[in-house]
Amino acid sequence: MGDIKVDQELDCRGMGCPLPVLKTKKAVGTMTSGQVLKMVCTDSGSNKDMPSWSDRTGNPILKREEQNGEFTWYIQVK
């Protein structure tokens, strides 16, 4: 996959459940269809939570990265 153009970034590092999902939801709500949100968190529970959130709300996850205990999610606004 080529480079993803990020429209907005969200830092959820250090936050526990359910804050990363909530902040992601709020950020997505301020964006327009097709835009991409980059969210970084350290909550390992997000590995299950983010896909569930994505399935339920219909905002697809384009890509996921993991580095040094940080999880980076690229989410496209539906």
Instruction: Return the range that interacts with other proteins (CB under 8 A); candidates 2-10, 23-31, 32-40, 63-71.
Output: 23-31
Q: Which is nearer to other proteins, 12 or 74 (CB)?
A: 12
Place of tokens 């970034």: 9
3-22 residues near other proteins, rule: CB under 8 A: 14-19, 21-22
The verdict on 35 binding other proteins (CB under 8 A) reads no
Give 3-state DSSP helix, strand, coil % of the chain, rounded to 5. Answer: 30, 30, 40
State the Cα–Cα distance between residues 16 and 20, nearest whole angstrom. Answer: 7
The verdict on 52 binding other proteins (CB under 8 A) reads yes
State the Cα–Cα distance between residues 10 and 1, nearest whole angstrom. Answer: 22
| Footprint of other proteins (CB under 8 A) | 14-19, 21-22, 24-26, 42-43, 49, 52-53, 56-58
